Chains A and B, each alone.
Chain A
Amino acid sequence: MSNLTTKHLLGIKDLQKEDIELIFRTADNFKEVINRPIKKVPSLRDVTIANLFFENSTRTRLSFELAERRLSADVINFAASSSSVSKGETLIDTVNNILAMKVDIIVMRHPNPGAAVFLAKHVDASIVNAGDGAHEHPTQALLDAYSIREKFGKVDGLKVAIVGDILHSRVALSNIFCLQKLGAEVMVCGPETLLPKHVASLGVKVEKDLRKALEWCDVANMLRIQLERQDIRYFPSIREYVMRYGLNKSLLDSLDKKITIMHPGPINRGVEITSDVADSDQAIILDQVENGVATRMAVLYLLAGRVE
């Protein structure tokens, strides 16, 4: 198989396992490309990509933009704060105006869950979901699973714990779908208030004790506490959260095996993980960032290359 089965990347849930494996194989090639003296290929030189960010983002936007430029695509950036959205324009009008400028692919982050699916139904361009509310963040899940595959040589059969604010996390949901499709066992761990009510129905293990989760897993993906998404207080204080769910070096060293630590960034050092854990040789956080560019190049290349 050398073609994706889908025109858009809206979420991992709708993706076939074969699609994910194709993205990974293609990302292997792009990882080699971005380590060359000239880190650029001309494949997408006749493709225009619009990055629409209706929500703040630094690393995802930079990663996408770098991926686009390294494929030689023309790139236009659009931030909601500086746009006519604040003047009352609807999403479809905004996007159709952009498409009238002959844009082929839209990369969109939006605060509303389902925004990418909605857009895909109404406009004639490939849509890449760069995060829609607390729903999905597919490219983050792809780069996380790709980083696990790179470290272990496989994903199948591994045990992955996702720790922290599961309730507000699109990274958690996309990761669960992606890891399960690739054959990994997934556990979520966090305080009761930050675990979605029916999360076990996704086929994941649920654990409230961090030590037990760490003893179980091969890989721990430590999520950030998303204070900006929390409308009420879900735990008494940051200090209490750190005491029960923060990962520090002594806890990590007390385990009887060396587990791999991941973090989607940005890190709140001293909250979900301490500095010495983030900088330890067990952490693959910076590998995740590099792999983010390679996997996003693969996604854009494969979407752009589809012959309708």
Chain B
Amino acid sequence: MTRRLLMNGNRLDITINRLCYQLLENHDGFLDAAIVGLQPRGVFVARRIHQRLCTILKRNDLLLGELDVTFYRDDFRRREMIAPSTTRMDFTVENRKVILVDDVLYTGRTIRAGMDALIDFGRPDCVELLTLVDRRYSRQLPIEPHYIGLSVDTITEEKVKVLWKETEGEDGIWLSAAESSTVQSS
């Protein structure tokens, strides 16, 4: 299996920084906004963004949620079951501007499930989508991100994996040729 580094840890850090300032451009003071990371891998991006925004704004009251979409997926009973992760939403999204965060945007199906899951916590004022990696030309649903860390052109047989210090020991974005052409969950 061949592997190619798309972004190293230093560049990833700069990209996170840039995404934070783009968010601040659109959400003045972050007063009525909330960041919601999608389980299992989007939460790592969301935590980094949240941490960085807290540092920039010198505040510690920014809302951060973690949302699992397993029970909202459209492939239940059609493929092997995926073990659900934990949902942590200590607030309702009623009238808030929600930034939905995932690591890799591919077919768009996870985001569709994520929006369904999100509105079970209230009616948000608006929902925006932030993705660290956008695999262009792969969408199966009409979903496009508002904030993009890195755009890549890939074929179905390839996989994009974002690694994190917390779980894999180092930060980085990798492209690899997958062993089979199964649709990945991102």
Give the interface of A toward B (CB within 8 A). Answer: 2-3, 25-26, 28-29, 32-33, 36-38, 40-43, 46-47, 301-302, 304-307
Show 15 A/B contacts (Cβ-Cβ < 8 Å), sorted by A.
A2-B82, A3-B80, A29-B70, A29-B71, A32-B87, A41-B120, A42-B72, A42-B116, A46-B77, A47-B77, A305-B76, A307-B77, A307-B79, A307-B80, A307-B81
Query: Which residue of the partner chain B has the closest CB to A45?
Result: B76
Main SS of chain A's interface residues?
A: loop
Contact call A43/B81, Cβ cutoff below 8 A: no
Q: How far is the CA of A130 from the CA of B83 in the complex (A)?
A: 25
Task: Identify which of A42, A47, A302 contacts B81 (C-beta below 8 A).
Answer: A302
Chain B 52-75 near chain A by CB (<8 Å), digits 1 or 0: 000000000000000010111000
**In whole angstroms, how far apart are the Cα atoms of A40 and B120 in the complex?**
8
Docked complex: B70-99 residues within 8 A CB-CB of A: 70-72, 76-84, 86-87, 89, 92
Q: Quick one: closest B residue to A41, CB to CB?
A: B71
Chain B residues within 8 Å of A43, by CB: 71-72, 76
B interface residue numbers (CB < 8 A to A): 68, 70-72, 76-84, 86-87, 89, 92, 116, 120-122
- Complex: chain B residue closest to A302, CB-CB: B81
CB pair B77 A36 closer than 8 Å = no
Q: Which residue of A lies closest to B70 (CB)?
A: A29
Q: Are A37 and B80 in contact (CB under 8 A)?
A: no
Bound complex: CA of A306 vs CA of B76, how far in Å? 9
C-alpha gap A40/B81 in the complex (Å): 19
Chain A CB within 10 A, most for which of B76, B121, B122: B76
Most buried by A among B70, B86, B122: B70
- Given A2-B83, A25-B83, A33-B71, does the pair A304, B77 have CB atoms closer than 8 Å? yes
CA distance A3 to B82 in the complex (A): 9
CA distance A304 to B70 in the complex (A): 14
Task: Report the Cα distance A46→B70, complex, angstroms.
Answer: 16
Q: Which residues of B contact A2 (CB under 8 A)?
A: 80-83
Q: Are B81 and A37 neighbours in the complex by a CB distance under 8 Å?
A: no
A307 to chain B, nearest CB (A): 6
Q: Are A37 and B122 in contact (CB under 8 A)?
A: yes
Across the two chains, which residue of chain A brings its CB closest to B89? Answer: A36
Shortest beta-carbon distance from A237 to chain B in Å:
51
Known: A2-B83, A29-B84, A305-B81. A38 touches B120 (CB 8 A): yes
A63 to B88, CA, bound (A): 25
The reply to whether A29 and B76 form a contact with Cβ atoms under 8 Å apart is no
Q: Given A38-B120, A42-B116, A307-B79, check contact A32 B72 (CB 8 Å).
A: no
Determine the chain B residues whose CB is within 8 A of the CB of A41 once the complex forms. Answer: 71-72, 120
State A29–B82 Cα separation when bound (angstroms).
13
Interface contact A36-B81, CB-CB below 8 Å: no
Q: Are B120 and A29 in contact (CB under 8 A)?
A: no
B residues near A42, Cβ cutoff 8 Å: 71-72, 116
Which residue of A36, A37, A307 contacts B78 across the interface (Cβ within 8 Å)?
A307
A301 to B82, CA, bound (A): 12
Of chain A, the residue at the smallest CB distance from B113 is A42
